Amino acid sequence: MKKILTALVLGAAALAATAQTPAPGAPTADAGTVKFAVNGMVCAFCAQGIEKRLTKMSETGPLYINLAKKVVAVQPKPGMSIDVAKVKAEIVEAGYEVTSTQAVPQTVAAIRAEMKGK
């Protein structure tokens, strides 16, 4: 158990270090929304915690969080792009696991409408 905890702490520290200093060519979503698959979100409080962290970021615009589908969608503000590693780090630091990311051409509103239809 102690080894697992140590590995988690070291992994989180490494992630935080890379998030603070993005490498040249770090992934960004230049013109679209980024969807994150997130494990560990189970209640409205979970969604609220993620939303609070992401809305504080200067480049994030509209957000959509779907607990049932375990999706967080982030759209950049006009003229800006999403730093995928930075957003992922915020979600991880909030206590959740990001299992995948996907840049999509849809707006958050379109994703919300699509998810409601399913």
| CATH code 3.30.70.100 for 2-117 | yes
Distance (Å, whole) CA 81 – CA 72: 16
Find the mean pLDDT for residues 74-102. Answer: 96
Q: What is the pLDDT of residues 35-73, one digit of tens each?
A: 999 999 999 999 999 999 999 999 999 999 999 999 999
Q: Note the pLDDT of residue 30.
A: 54
Residue spans of the domains in the chain: they are: 2-117
Tell me what the pLDDT averaged over the chain comes to: 81
Q: Is the pLDDT of residue 4 over 60?
A: no
pTM (2 d.p.) = 0.72
Q: Is the pLDDT of residue 13 over 80?
A: no
Distance (Å, whole) CA 100 – CA 114: 19
Q: Note the pLDDT of residue 31.
A: 54
Find the mean pLDDT for residues 10-15. Answer: 41
